[in-house]
């Protein structure tokens, strides 16, 4: 059964937009789902769907290219250690390598929780659930993003400390940033950075304003999730029980599917820290 929904209108309780249902089933993105509908590839209750402006329920019988829509998987999440020189996008117009070129074959369709820019590295969260991704990205969650930044220049610790009060750069207001000097090595330094807002290229822009251009930027934590010893370019799934405990996500019985690769023993991320003595 389907119900029309007007532009900007929210679906009634118990229903969801057809594009969201297709995306949750892991077939495509919402944008691609809308294209499939326009191409006449989607049927609902035996009728070819002509517009994505409709709502389906659990009683709706949905077909794509004549095949029944597979059941949506439970919400799942993965950690990925993004190396530099990878785009966090499905397609890059300039043909640069993307994170999706590096993910293991057989892994379900996933989207990213937030982004890292092309040259940044470190922890990137992936999920098969778009609603969960949007929820985790909200600044209202208060989740802290933690970074290690290698910068060029001599650090003024007083100016770093002042970032806790926020800063406005070229009309853009950046919220509280906790920044501290780990060590100065001649004309370079390592900084520890923590923030909750996560605006586009925020760390790089703020430090550049302080005459501290970033040479290397590594995200080491996003909320309760940590990069830990995950090797660069590797991915592993967050255990379902841990996801339940952290996020309160309900999970149906696990299906057979992709098994996470095991990280190599004693592997450590390159964070720039000196070894403990």
Residues serving a catalytic function are: 117
Q: Which SS3 state, helix, strand or coil, does residue 46 take?
A: coil
Question: Is residue 155 within 8 Å of 212, Cβ to Cβ?
Answer: yes
Give the torsion sign (CA, 229, 231, 233, 238): negative
Q: Which SS3 state, helix, strand or coil, does residue 123 take?
A: strand
Q: Which SS3 state, helix, strand or coil, does residue 160 take?
A: helix
Per the rule left: phi > 0, alpha: psi between -120 and 50, beta: everything else, 198 is: left
User: 84-113: buried (b, 16+ CB within 10 Å) or exposed (e) per residue?
Assistant: eebbbeeeeeeeeebbbeebeeebeebbbb
The pair of structure tokens assigned to 150 is: 């290698």
Q: Which SS3 state, helix, strand or coil, does residue 215 take?
A: strand
Write phi, then psi, for 210 (nearest 5 degrees).
-90, 15
């Amino acid at each position: 059964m389907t119900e029309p929904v007007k532009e900007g209108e929210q679906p009634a309780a118990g229903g969801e937009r057809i594009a969201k249902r297709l995306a949750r089933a892991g077939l495509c993105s919402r944008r691609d789902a809308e294209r499939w509908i326009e191409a006449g590839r989607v049927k609902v209750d035996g009728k070819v769907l002509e517009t994505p402006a409709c709502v389906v329920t659990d009683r709706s019988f949905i077909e794509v290219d004549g095949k029944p829509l597979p059941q949506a998987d439970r919400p799942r999440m993965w950690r990925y250690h993004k190396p530099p020189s990878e785009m966090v996008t499905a397609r890059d117009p300039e043909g640069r390598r993307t994170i999706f070129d590096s993910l293991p074959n057989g892994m379900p369709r996933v989207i990213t929780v937030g982004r890292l820019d092309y040259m940044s590295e470190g922890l990137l969260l992936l999920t098969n659930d778009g609603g969960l991704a949007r929820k985790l990205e909200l600044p209202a969650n208060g989740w802290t993003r933690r970074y290690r930044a290698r910068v060029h220049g001599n650090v003024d610790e007083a100016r770093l400390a002042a970032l806790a009060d926020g800063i406005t750069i070229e009309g853009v207001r950046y919220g509280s940033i906790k920044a501290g000097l780990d060590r100065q090595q001649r004309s370079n330094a390592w900084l520890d950075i923590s923030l909750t807002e996560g605006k586009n290229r925020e760390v790089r822009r703020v430090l550049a304003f302080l005459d501290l251009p970033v040479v290397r930027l590594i995200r080491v934590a996003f909320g309760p999730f940590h990069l830990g010893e995950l090797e660069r370019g590797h991915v592993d799934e967050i255990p379902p029980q841990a996801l339940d405990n952290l996020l309160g996500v309900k999970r149906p019985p696990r299906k057979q599917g992709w098994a996470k690769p095991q990280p190599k023993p004693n592997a450590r991320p390159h964070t720039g820290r000196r070894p403990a003595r």
